[in-house]
Chains A and B, each alone.
Chain A
Amino acid sequence: MLKFKENQSSIFLTVLMYVMVFLFIFPILWLLLSSFKPGGELFDYPLSFLPENPTVENYEYAWTTMNFVRYFVNTAIVTVVTTVLTILASASCGFALAKYKYKWLSVFFICILATTMLPTEVIMNPTFTVIQTLGLYDSLAGLIVPSISTATGIFMFRQFFLTVPDDLLESARIDGASEGKTFFRLMLPISKPIIITLAIFSFQWRWNDYIWPLIVISSPEKYTLQIALRNIVGANSIDWPLLLSASVISILPMVILFFVFQRYIMDSQATSGLKD
């Protein structure tokens, strides 16, 4: 009887899972299939799921109308540079907060944590003033610099380094390693899981970042992908064939990245809330 019940509930859960998968995948499939429809078919009645006369014209149109290579390069520069710097900054800060004992350090840590309570939108105005005064307006550096330090990253690293036994650190010191050396040669390598998790998060955040680039970047040769896509939406009408194909092109790098790092990404989503 118990077995039957277990069986039943597992069937129920599996069905539920498939329903959820379908719900998530349907809009994406619709986007993908619609991008292969010629413009005249998009609003046809009755709507068809599969394109009747599939065409790659939209993609040719998108590729020739928009300077994708430049947008990809810009987005990639911002994403990669920010991610590398974020990891270095968060790791060193997290290490210091976990392993050094100074009087005001924990207060400082609370202050850092408190910043997570302020959404980006709230501090956007002052941040913009700072960027402007530094002369970073309309430069990729203006996108990178404010995004480097993140309380989430610091917290993740601090929690991880707390679990590393002090003995390990002390033995390194006894062996004559300098503080820098202990950090780079010992601490950083053992925090690999956290590095990968944070790298994946940071990559996603930066790739999809929209509002900040929108404010800081003004010349089109510095546009990131998300800003460039926005240009397609006009005052009164939207060029749907162009928007659909351009959106698909813009998500391709993320999809490829996902397939390459699939194992780590699944891991990172599963463990991000836990102590590793």
Chain B
Amino acid sequence: MKKGIGLAALLLIVFLTACGNSGSSSDNSIEFLVSGDSVEGNAISTMAKKYNEENDANVKVVDVPYEDMATRVTNMVRDGNPPELIRTTKFSPLWQDQLLNLGEIGKERNVDESLFIKVENEVKALPLDLTAVGMFVNKDLFEEAGVEYPTSEDDIWTWEKFTSSVKKVTENTNAEYGFVMDQSEHRLLTMLYQFGSEGIRPNGNGEYQVNQETNEGIEFFTQLNNEGVMPKNVWTSGANAASLFKSGRVAAYMSGNWQLQDFSENITNFEWASVYMPKEDTRATNLGGNYIVAFDGTGNEKATNNFISWLYKKENHEQMSRIGGYLPVVENAEVNYQFAQESFEIYQNEIDASAEVSSYMQTEIVAKQLIAEESTNNVLREEVIGVLNNDKSIEEALNNTTDAYTEAYGNN
């Protein structure tokens, strides 16, 4: 018995030493942290493999849970061992001093400059894959009700027209709701831009403010919820909008191009289509998506830059976008998608026609994440939920939102 335990203890010690950190920074491999690559057709891994084969390099793609990317990277930075490259939507001010300037690569490869993330004239991040907000309709329901929806950019509907159309659909079919929108600030802002909002911007004194159209947009949104055109429980208690649409009981759904793959594969009980979004004042979508960020001080800066530059080469970018179902960011890139080609074209047109505010707000909010300790993430959403719950007026909600922005970003 005693011998056995002694032996076991010895084995354990050997084992523990063996699985200790063997140190990995000396080789010239590039660690590339991404989220969700395996569910996006392994687009990034495929590209990395291609690069490794062509250039005898060693780019290692590491899939990190989306929610934990920022924490993980911050830990690695604190450990003094940052990854060479990450693809992310979230940033931390702790990284700011350790990022490579990617401006030259971006310009050289004709990446859309309005989406560069700049801090003090240095480009800290480049957009890698673009997402845009868009509208889906349940084709079957519209046809059953005999209601038309826009099929080209020439007959885009207004929000009033849209509302009366989906109301007609719910009246004439067994659809339960006319319209549903993700419980997301990003989606709500899209609607507000369409009403003519200029976003949440600072005035000359660094105080943030919104225009009157923003107020009108929220009023319209609240009305849709109160009238029951939209299910109130999506915004007030977080019911899943995508599942509601997938159940086939909702006429229209405002989400984005990231749903296309899932819808193409997993909606079998009805026909759906992407349509142009309504406008009130202007046409607008809202941009999002992942950025590529490269770290300084890894000893592999040159190899990292070479890889990034290769990744943005037009044909490589097109291939990556095709596999992952991404909207391209490189000028003149044309992508033949494996699914929902017509939908992607609609999204591309929406982006081209969109008001300037959408890229302005997006890059502004991201850049602020790199410099400000505080974040205004979801402040507007929470305030609007308060309005829907009759806890406060639209006026109060907007004042609270702009105050929060001023407090977080006013001095920067």
Interface residues of A (CB under 8 A from B): 38-45, 65-66, 77, 81, 84-85, 88, 128, 132, 135-142, 144-145, 180-181, 184-185, 189, 214-215, 218-220, 227, 230-237, 239-242
- Mostly, the B contact residues are helix
Assess whether B75 is in contact with A181, with CB atoms less than 8 Å apart.
no
Residues of the A chain whose Cβ atoms lie less than 8 Å from the Cβ of B36: 231, 234-235
Q: A45, A138, A144, A236: which contacts B248 (Cβ < 8 A)? A: A45
Q: In the assembly, what is the distance between CA of A136 and CA of B2, in Å? A: 30
- Whether B247 pairs with A45 at a CB distance below 8 angstroms is yes
Chain B residues with a Cβ under 8 A of chain A: 1-2, 5, 8-9, 12, 15-16, 19-21, 35-36, 38-40, 62-68, 71-72, 75-76, 78-79, 89, 131, 242-243, 246-249, 255-256, 258-259, 262, 265-269
Closest A residue to B261 by CB, please name it. Answer: A237
Chain B residue at minimal CB-CB distance from A216: B75
A-B pairs with beta carbons under 8 Å apart, 19 shown: A38-B268, A43-B246, A44-B247, A65-B39, A66-B38, A77-B19, A81-B15, A132-B79, A137-B79, A142-B21, A184-B2, A218-B72, A220-B63, A234-B39, A234-B66, A235-B36, A236-B131, A236-B255, A237-B258
Are B12 and A84 closer than 8 Å at their CB atoms? yes
Q: Are the C-beta atoms of A43 and B247 separated by less than 8 Å? A: yes
> Which residues from chain B contact A136 at a C-beta distance below 8 Å?
20-21
Q: Please count the residue pairs between chain A and chain B whose beta carbons lie under 8 angstroms apart in the complex.
A: 116
Contact of B21 among A39, A135, A227 (CB under 8 A): A135
Q: If A218-B72, A230-B65 touch, does A85 touch B39 (CB 8 Å cutoff)?
A: no
Q: Is A242 within 8 A of B39, CB to CB? A: yes
CB-based contact B38/A235 at 8 Å: no
* Bound CA span A136–B23, Å: 10
Chain A residues with CB under 8 Å of B243's CB are 43
Pick from B12, B39, B75, B247: contact of A215, CB under 8 Å: B75
Q: List, in ascending order, chain B residues with CB within 8 A of A85's CB.
A: 12
Given A135-B21, A220-B62 in contact, is the A235-B35 Cβ separation under 8 Å?
yes
User: Chain B residue with minimal CB distance to A67?
Assistant: B38
Query: Nearest 9 CB-CB pairs, A to B?
Result: A40-B268, A39-B266, A43-B246, A234-B36, A45-B247, A230-B65, A140-B19, A239-B39, A236-B258
With A40-B267, A43-B246: A234-B12 Cβ-Cβ less than 8 Å:
no
Contact status A40-B65, CB under 8 Å = no
Q: Besides the contacts A128-B75, A184-B2, A234-B258, what 11 more A-B pairs have beta carbons closer than 8 Å?
A: A39-B265, A39-B266, A66-B38, A81-B15, A184-B1, A215-B71, A218-B75, A231-B38, A234-B39, A237-B259, A242-B39
Q: In the complex the two chains form, is B269's CB within 8 Å of A237's CB?
A: no
Question: Would you call B12 and A135 a contact (CB within 8 A)?
Answer: no
Pairwise interchain contact A234-B35, C-beta atoms closer than 8 A: yes
Please indicate which of the listed interface residues B35, B249, B266 has the most CB atoms of chain A within 10 Å of its own CB.
Answer: B266
